[in-house]
Amino acid sequence: MRSTKRLPRIVVLTGAGVSRESGLATFRDAGGAWQQVRMEDVATPEGFRRDPGRVHAFYNARRAQLDAVAPNAAHLALAALEREWVARGGAFLLVTQNVDDLHTRAGSALLLQMHGALRRARCLRCGQSFDWQGDTAVDSVCPRCRRAGGVRPDIVWFGEVPMHLEAIGEALEGCGLFVSIGTSGSVYPAAGFVAGVRGRAHTVELNLEPSDGAALFDEARHGPATLVVPEYVAGLLERFG
Ligand code: OAD
């Protein structure tokens, strides 16, 4: 028999750590992206203006990697949580800082990619964004306005405003359970979500190690995402079963 316990609205925030065990490097761990290249060169509008070829090459390589990786047990557990929570009448939103497509491929549908997506591109000439599968280049032609020279990865760079902030803000406003997974908590505004919901929502960190904001969470489980996320999800579904 199902309990009549009121289901808290869940907001989950994920970062690069959730995709690490699928084979995608994080940003700030040893061997991470920001140890290979300078963030200013490949993840700022200034870097793109200075050397667009280098920026296209960086994201082309990362986009190509997606073909070689698959969702892991953590992505799958979050997709299962969404399905189960919604089936029980609960509200759920997954917010990710990740630009890979692994949450989508795992089956997550209530998902907002606040830092953009590798498989999308945008045209600086007409302002439209669209799905993009292969490489982007300085002479790529926009499928919307048919002009060349304005296509860029649809990724949020430093100094730019993250996507979906209004919808994310609304979800955080009403959330009763906030779970942060695989993020160092060093990039705002995402790093500030936990402070914003504290007091109203129960806050949980699932990460390999304590993050920069670890002290702000009510509860923490430290370990690899493929272990701690399925375990946490199973416990949650049982508690509210
Ligand atoms: P970071 O590289 O800053 O942090 C990754 C976090 O994942 C760290 O706290 C690790 O301890 C943890 N981690 C590593 N392996 C893990 C595993 N197997 N299981 C669980 N946790 C693990 O990545 P993000 O916090 O996602 O933005 O970085 C935030 C943003 O900074 C990115 O979206 C990107 C970057 O610059 C842009 O490019 C705009």
Among 183, 228, 229, the mutation site with the greatest number of ligand 1 atoms within 8 A of its Cβ is 183
**Percent of the chain clearing pLDDT 70 (strictly above):** 98
Whole-number Cα distances in Å, 106 to 103, 179, 229 = 5, 18, 14
| Each residue's pLDDT tens digit, 11-56 | 999 999 999 999 999 999 888 999 999 999 999 999 999 999 999 9
Q: Is the pTM of this model over 0.95?
A: yes
Q: Which atom of ligand 1 is nearest to the CA of 183?
A: 25
Dump the DSSP string for the chain.
----PPPPPEEEEE-THHHHTTT---SSSTT-HHHHS-HHHHSSHHHHHH-HHHHHHHHHHHHHHGGG----HHHHHHHHHHHHHHHTT--EEEEE---SSHHHHHT--SEEETTEEEEEEEETTT--EEE--S---TTPBPTTT--BS-EEEEEPPTTSPPTTHHHHHHHHHT-SEEEEES--S-STTGGGHHHHHBTTBEEEEEESS--TTGGG-SEEEES-HHHHHHHHHHHHHHHT-
Per-residue pLDDT, 5: 65
Expressed in angstroms and rounded, the spacing between residue 22 Cα and the centre of ligand 1 is 13
Instruction: Single out the catalytic residue among 56, 75, 103, 115.
Output: 115
Per-residue pLDDT, 31: 87
Half-sphere exposure of 67 (CA within 13 A, CB side): 7
Q: Which atom of ligand 1 is nearest to the CA of 28?
A: 2
| Each residue's pLDDT tens digit, 205-233 | 999 999 989 999 999 999 999 999 999 99
Q: Which of 5-9, 75-79, 106-110, 113-117 is least confident?
A: 5-9
The span from the CA of 228 to the CA of 226, in Å, is: 6
Count CB atoms within 10 A of the CB of residue 70.
13
Q: Which two tokens stand for residue 125?
A: 């000439």
Among 184, 211, 231, the mutation site with the greatest number of ligand 1 atoms within 8 A of its Cβ is 184
pLDDT at 1 over 60: no
Question: Residues lining ligand 1, judged by CB closer than 6 Å?
Answer: 15-17, 20-21, 26-29, 32, 43, 97, 115, 156, 182-184, 186-187, 207-209, 211, 224-225
Instruction: Classify the phi-psi angles of 11: left when phi > 0, otherwise alpha if psi is within -120 to 50, otherwise beta.
Output: beta
Token pair 């999800």 in the structure block, residue: 233
The residue-averaged pLDDT of 79-86 equals 98
Residue 115: active-site member: yes
- Cα 234 from chain centroid (whole Å): 22
- pLDDT band of 6, cuts 50, 70, 90: confident
The residue-averaged pLDDT of 110-124 equals 98
Per-residue pLDDT, 4: 46
The residue-averaged pLDDT of 119-135 equals 97
